[in-house]
Chain A
Amino acid sequence: MVKATGSILSRGGLWQGAFTAFIFTGPIFTGPIFTGPIVIGPIVTALTFSVLIFIGLNQTCTAQSEENTILNRWENAIRPILSKQCISCHNELKRSGQLSLETIRGLLGSTLSGSVVDGKNSAESLILKVILPNAESHMPPDGQLSDGDIESLKKFIGELVTDPGYQAWKNETEQSSSKAPQNATLDNYPAALPPQLVIDFAVSNKLAEKGLTAGAKTDDSQFARRIYLDFLGRTPTSAELRLFLESLESNKRETLIDSLLNSPEHAVHLSELLHALLIGRKDANGFVQSEKAGWFSYLRNAIEKDRPWNEVAAEILLARPADESRNGAVWYLYSRKNNHQEIAEAVSRDFFGVRIDCAQCHDHPLANEILQRHYWGLTAFFNRSTNTETSKGFRLKESAIGGFAEFANIRGSSAPNELVFLGTEPIPETRPAKDVKEEDRDDLYNDQGEGEPRVPKFSRRQQFVEKVLTNHPLVSQAMVNRIWGHMLGRGLIHPIDAMDSFHPASHPELLHWLSRDFERRGYSIRHLLRSIALSQTYQLASSASQTQDPSLFSYALAKPLTAESFHRSIGTALELKNPDAFYALENRLLFSRIFPDVLAEESLANVSQGLMLSNSPLIQRFVSASESQLLQRLSAETDTAQASTQLFLALLHRKPDNEELQKCLTYLSNTSRSREKLLEDLTWALITSPEFRFNH
């Protein structure tokens, strides 16, 4: 069943535009995935419920469209007036002041100045006031509606707000503007259902709709490599793999998942990933500064303790650490060096999964819900904050005054920067009058004690955390989408930082359910990782005999390893004698410069990567018997078949097939070069092969 929001403007059906219609495309699933009665019941109920809504709305629609006196008057009398005098600025595209006067819906909509039609006292409507000859903020700026036109408009509005359709429309828009999206299917699943079941259900459901099925499952070896890479950021050692393969436990995969999640390496890996996303890899100086600020240890600790993500987010964005162990949280904001716009762009992307960069100069041209006022609103939450160093560490002090401005769009019309962001109402705040100079007074602050900057009684950052961040549906959704993307190679909304109306989710109900589950489980990232890992969808094999749409998740996507994972996997596979040298900062930075992608929309290689792997001194030095215990050991192995097999097992976690074995033997039989050198070449060939480079 598909739900479509009718927002197409059609001239005849004036009210249709505002309603939501439910359209059926057929039975929901072709075969029961779950046979338990618990599940069937709610779905059936959902079906019935939806049918009733559909019928009910349809009747309302029909009723309205027969009542068209208002429409006729709009078409014949009002529209022409507005077209002549108002539409050049107040059209659907330009929307000056967020107002469109091309449709009745536009006339009734909310604008920068509030609603221009007053439903309770229509004669007092704003639109009627500004068109009067001596009005302040007179409209149109360089013209004047005739007295007759003003009268017509006044009469029309008076009739409009008493029309029964108006009230119905008003109720409908009030409902649909509430934060939670409406979902009929998965929403009715019991909250206690394990997420992995819900995932598999949703995925197979969509596959079934298209007459497709999922592919085969991974074998244990493939699974082990994959989960080690996703959770620890490296491939398993031969010993680790052997242990897993030899285990006779019936749920050994679950056991492995849990042990990896509890490993300190997991915290390191995930914190590196988060760091790359939240702050981004910088040069050596930037790295050292982040380290000194306690940022890495803060993230590691948060992962280790599986701290609720909403608490961590609040801590990072409030940047008033409760104790010095949480100092690292301040670094996210501090590292932006008081660039408030940069902060807004980062916060929106990192915590809400939405890119708002485009909305700096005008409303987003493609995603209607992202407005310029959101960009400047989000900036305003942070623009009273400035970096400061205290005896307790880095802090962001906040002023109790200032930060009021107007933002102009590229057409020059300006609006005040209210404290507002996506999906929320503006937070009330007294704006000083135009010429009044605000005075900063001590009584506007609360002292915080030794070493901490005083905090304004009305703290914009605090307001943001309490009124916007807390319980914002995008916060859980962004993290769910991101973790899903990390595990499955592609977000449910892809790219992962474009969760806007222009990028529909591949499985919207699943995303919604997982987000609610994430919230219910205390925003636990570990629970989410675990659940995804336990799903059959995650455990599908990657090679596909026929390609299918990757957004169907019918097979596992090959995911390029991040720089850190690639680096670490090479190091692990080689069994380094001098790991410290290999992992020196400059080498880590080289990898991150050459392989910069993290959860990219499309990760395409470039030739500098080939050059680095082929010719860099780093690779040359460590892929050698002098630095690698593996190579040293295998160089001493006289049985070339044995050596080749061991090499494959160590690097690719599988035995070579006949063809590959033959190739190795032939290569190793070259007597003009040392066994050592030939093995180095073989090792190089395997670690630079896509099979090593990718998680699959």
Chain B
Amino acid sequence: MHSVEHPCASGSPPGHIDHRLHRRLFLQGSLAGAASIASFQGLFTLPAHAETVKQQGKKCILLWLCGAPSQFETWDPKPGRPTGGPFGSIPTSLPGVHISSLMPKCASILDKLTIVRSMKTDQNEHFQAIDLLTRGEPPRPPFTRPLLGSVFAQQFGQLENPVPQFVLLDPCPEGNEFKSFKASNWAGWLGAEYGPVRFGGPYKIDHVSLPEKMSELEHADREALRSFFSKKFVNDHQEAAVKSYNTIFERVKGLMKAAPLFDLNALPESDRLRYGPGTFGLHTLLARHLIENGSTFVMVANGMPWDCHVFNHETHQMLVPELDRIIFELLQDLSDRSMLDDTLVLIMGEFGRTPHLNEARGRDHYPNAWSMAVAGCGFKPGVVYGATDENGIDVAENPVDQRRLFATIYQALGLDPHQTYNLPGFPTFHRVEKNATPIAELLA
């Protein structure tokens, strides 16, 4: 169950055509149109990309602030304004730039971060917004665009590496819209081998030890046999369910080897004290540990605690300082390990929160003007891009939608944002559609 102000673009003046209907027709149209197209996801077994050079070494940690954090209580405070809320702002290591008083640690290292204050997207509902901001493009059924993490795993990952390339750390089994999203097809047309392994909370890696009296060699032989006998059936059946079922076995050996990596207790207590005690912090530490040891993309979430329709300030007072500390420690650690140049740290949610406070002491959804932050690989540190008006109601300069954001991210990683996916039988898809250009000011 979710809460939604408007089903689509907010702020439409009276007299406009019913947006709800418009979008429904659009979606119906694409379903009806696509039905006559011959091919479907999971058709191909090998990713067919023009780029043959595998970029080495790039990694990413996505701190996925699901539910959507309030930009007023983080990167774009409006102290003293009627929309500002009760928290003030503090100066940062960037002259003239202030962020929320709840983030003193990030304030001291703002010269290492890149902030975008002018995010402007059009999805107001959780599931659709999460989908939009993690894949970069609205859905076009029946084709499923892969998540950024899957693209990463496919471009930079090594499938032979026993450590899972794409990991989702999220202990929350519930989460309504986010739960539905977690059950959807993340790897899309890239294929199930680029989907995530999930860990955290009840999501443990069970059955990771070799069966009794079986050697590793025997285990491998047996798997090779299974793989052999599966080939024909997999080739003859196109359902994604079939393909994904076959693929998981390729991961088994790797996960068995990599399982100890997921043991938080094996990490030094001093590390756990710096990031913890909360689960989100501990998982961020785990994310750092995983990418140090071979993972390519780790997405860290903890349900949707940022969705503060109720008690926004009462909950953000706890969530933001934790986030502040985690970002500080993570960037410190990555820098100490000389990993920051090759590691992208993305800090964002699926939209922002309303300037006005509702009756339940909360802020509601707001895709109209919101903030996100980045650090590392390819981004220019110490940049604050875009601005909102004095009350934070609208973007005042340099609006950024998810296309331009993704274009910038791909560019920062050294990938051509407009590269096409060469998928047999599919319409032409690009990494980023509509020729959206990367934002030069954000790139190093």
Interface residues of A (CB under 8 A from B): 7-9, 79, 83, 87-88, 91-94, 102, 210, 357-358, 360-362, 365-366, 368, 410, 412, 501-502, 504, 542-544, 546-552, 557-558, 560, 600, 602-612, 614-617, 620, 660, 663, 667, 673, 677, 681-682, 684-686, 688-691, 693-694, 696
B225 interface residue per 8 A CB criterion: yes
Given the known A-B contacts A366-B7, A681-B218, are A551 and B28 also in contact in the complex, defined by CB atoms under 8 Å? Answer: no
Main secondary structure of the interface of A (DSSP, over half): loop
Residues of B within 8 A of A (CB): 1-7, 12, 14-15, 17-21, 24, 27-28, 31, 34-40, 43, 125, 142, 164, 176, 183-185, 192, 195, 197-198, 205-212, 214, 218-219, 221-223, 225-226, 228-230, 233-234, 236-242, 244-249, 251-252, 255-256, 309, 358-359, 364
With A606-B198, A611-B206 known as contacts, the answer to whether A551 contacts B35 (CB < 8 A) is: yes
- Give complex CA distance A357, B179 in Å: 14
A684 near B3 with CB under 8 A, answer no
Q: A93-B18, A543-B237, A607-B248 are in contact. List 14 more A-B contacts (CB 8 A).
A: A8-B21, A87-B15, A93-B19, A102-B14, A102-B15, A210-B35, A361-B3, A410-B5, A410-B364, A543-B236, A610-B248, A614-B207, A615-B256, A690-B230
Residues of B close to A617: CB separation below 8 A? 211-212
B256 and A605 within 8 A (CB): no
Q: Give the top 5 A-B pairs by smallest Cβ distance, nearest first.
A: A87-B14, A365-B7, A543-B236, A610-B248, A685-B226
Closest to B253 in A: A614
Which residues does chain A contribute within 8 Å of B1, judged by CB atoms? 357-358, 360-361
A-B contacts, 18 of them at CB < 8 A, read A7-B21, A87-B14, A88-B14, A360-B1, A362-B3, A366-B24, A547-B43, A558-B242, A560-B241, A604-B244, A605-B241, A608-B205, A611-B208, A615-B208, A615-B209, A689-B229, A689-B233, A696-B237
Do B252 and A610 have beta carbons less than 8 Å apart?
yes
Contact B192 A605 (CB under 8 A): yes
Residues in B whose Cβ lies below 8 Å from that of A607: 164, 197, 248, 251-252, 255
Q: Let me know if A616 and B207 touch, CB within 8 A.
A: yes
Q: Contacts A611-B256, A682-B225 hold; do A365 and B125 have CB atoms under 8 A apart?
A: yes
- Give min CB distance, A237 to chain B, whole Å: 21
Nearest-CB residue, chain B, relative to A656: B229
Q: Provided the pairs A9-B17, A547-B43, A558-B237 are in contact, do residues A93 and B242 lie with their beta carbons within 8 angstroms?
A: no
Is A9 a contact of B206 with CB atoms below 8 Å? no
**Cα separation A542 to B241 with both chains bound (whole Å):** 14
Known: A8-B21, A689-B230. A412 touches B3 (CB 8 A): no
Q: A410-B358, A608-B207 are in contact. Are A614 and B223 (CB under 8 A)?
A: yes
Instruction: Kindly provide the distance from the CB of B202 to the nearest chain A CB, expressed in whole angstroms.
Output: 10
Q: What is the minimal beta-carbon distance from A469 to any residue of chain B, in angstroms?
A: 24
Give the residues in chain B near A605, CB-CB below 8 Å.
Answer: 192, 241, 244-245, 247-248
> How far does the Cβ of A243 sit from chain B's closest Cβ, in whole Å?
26
**When chains A and B are docked, how far (Å) is the Cα of A612 from the Cα of B205?**
10
Q: Which residues of B contact A684 (CB under 8 A)?
A: 222, 226
Q: How many angstroms between the C-alpha atoms of A595 and B326 in the bound complex?
A: 36
Q: Compute how far the CA of A9 lies from the CA of B236 in the bound complex, rounded to whole angstroms.
A: 47
Contacting residues, chain A, for B228 (C-beta < 8 A):
663, 685
- Chain B's closest residue to A206 (CB) is B35
A611–B252 CB distance below 8 A: yes
| Nearest A residue (CB) for B195 | A604
Distance in Å: Cβ of B360 to nearest Cβ of chain A = 8
**In the complex the two chains form, is A602's CB within 8 Å of B364's CB?**
no
Interface contact A602-B35, CB-CB below 8 Å: no
CA distance A366 to B34 in the complex (A): 21
Tell me, rounded to whole Å, the shortest Cβ–Cβ distance linking B31 to chain A. Answer: 8
Instruction: Check B238 against A544 for contact (C-beta < 8 Å).
Output: yes
From residue B126, how far is it (CB to closest CB) to chain A in Å?
11
Chain A residues with CB under 8 A of B184: 602
Q: How far is the CB of A214 from chain B (nearest CB, A)?
A: 16
Contacting residues, chain B, for A691 (C-beta < 8 A): 229-230, 233
**What is the bound-complex CA distance between A54 and B20, given in angstroms?**
27
B248/A685 in contact, CB under 8 A: no
**A357 cross-chain contacts in B, Cβ below 8 A:** 1, 176
Residues of B within 8 A of A612 (CB): 206-207
CB neighbours (8 Å) of B358 from chain A are: 410
Closest to B235 in A: A543
Please tell me if the beta carbons of A609 and B237 are within 8 angstroms of each other in the complex: no
Chain B residues within an 8 Å CB radius of A9: 17-18, 21
CB-CB under 8 A for A608 and B206, given A87-B14, A366-B24: yes
Contact (Cβ within 8 A) A686 B247: no
Q: Of B198, B221, B233, which is in contact with the most chain A CB atoms at under 10 Å from its CB?
A: B233
Residues of A within 8 A of B226 (CB): 684-686, 688-689
Nearest-neighbour CB distance to chain A for B2, whole angstroms, equals: 7
Which B residues are CB-close (under 8 A) to A688?
Answer: 226, 249
CB neighbours of A549 from chain B (8 A): 34-37, 40, 142
Could you tell me if B40 and A547 are in contact, using CB atoms closer than 8 angstroms? Answer: yes
Q: Which residue of B lies closest to A544 (CB)?
A: B238
Chain A nearest CB from B393 CB (Å) reads: 16
A412 to B364 alpha-carbon distance, docked (Å): 13
Task: From the candidates B2, B37, B185, B205, name the one contacting A611 in the complex (CB within 8 A).
Answer: B205
Chain B residues, CB < 8 A from A620: 211-212, 214
Q: Is the CB of B246 within 8 A of A690?
A: yes
Q: Report the minimal beta-carbon distance from A689 to chain B, rounded to whole angstroms.
A: 5
- Which residues in B have their C-beta under 8 angstroms from that of A551? 35
Task: Report the minimum CB–CB distance from B186 to chain A (whole Å).
Answer: 9
Q: Which residues of B contact A358 (CB under 8 A)?
A: 1-2
Per the bound structure, the CA–CA distance linking A542 and B1 in Å amounts to: 37
CB-CB under 8 A for A547 and B245, given A9-B17, A502-B24, A689-B230: no
Q: State the CA gap A102–B1 with chains docked (Å).
A: 28
Give every chain B residue within 8 A of A502 (Cβ-Cβ): 24, 27
CA distance A611 to B258 in the complex (A): 13
Bound state CA distance, A9 and B36, in angstroms?
29
The reply to whether A362 and B255 contact each other, CB–CB distance below 8 Å, is no
Between B15, B207, B209, the greatest number of chain A beta carbons within 10 A of the residue's beta carbon is seen for B207
Nearest residue in A to B187 (C-beta to C-beta)? A604
Q: How far is the CA of A164 from the CA of B234 in the complex (A)?
A: 64
Centre residue among A9, A94, A366, A551 by max chain B CB count within 10 A: A366
B341 nearest CB across to chain A (Å)? 31
A615 with B210, Cβ < 8 A, contacts A560-B245, A681-B218, A690-B242 known = yes
- In the bound complex, residues from chain A placing their C-beta under 8 Å from that of B234 are 690
Alpha-carbon distance between A362 and B184 when the two chains are bound, in angstroms: 25
Contact B4 A681 (CB under 8 A): no
Q: A83-B15, A544-B236 are in contact. Are A611 and B241 (CB under 8 A)?
A: no
Contact B20 A368 (CB under 8 A): yes
Chain B residue numbers with a CB within 8 Å of A615 are 207-211, 252, 256
User: How far apart are the CA atoms of A8 and B256 in the complex, in Å?
Assistant: 57
Closest residue of chain B to A684 (Cβ to Cβ) is B222
A444 to chain B, nearest CB (A): 34
Knowing A93-B12, A410-B5, A410-B364, the reply to whether A544 touches B237 (Cβ < 8 A) is yes
- Whole-angstrom distance between the alpha carbons of A102 and B17 in the complex? 10
Kindly list chain A residues whose C-beta atoms are within 8 Å of the C-beta of B18.
9, 92-93
Complex Cα distance A470/B15, Å? 41
Report chain A residues within 8 Å CB of B251: 607, 610
Q: How far is the CA of A655 from the CA of B229 in the complex (A)?
A: 13
In the complex, which residues of chain A have a beta carbon less than 8 angstroms from the beta carbon of B125? 365
Whether B6 and A93, one on each chain, are in contact in the complex, defined by CB atoms closer than 8 angstroms, is: yes
- The docked-state distance in angstroms from the alpha carbon of A502 to that of B358 is 29
CA distance A181 to B234 in the complex (A): 41
**Distance in angstroms between the alpha carbons of A558 and B209 in the assembled complex:** 31
Complex contacts, A7 vs chain B, CB 8 Å: 21
Query: Are B222's CB and A681's CB within 8 A?
Result: yes
- Name the residue on A nearest B255 (C-beta): A607
CA distance A88 to B227 in the complex (A): 62
CB-CB under 8 A from A685, the residues of chain B are 222, 225-226, 228-229
How far apart are B311's CB and chain A's nearest CB, in angstroms? 14
User: A360 contacts which chain B residues (CB < 8 A)?
Assistant: 1
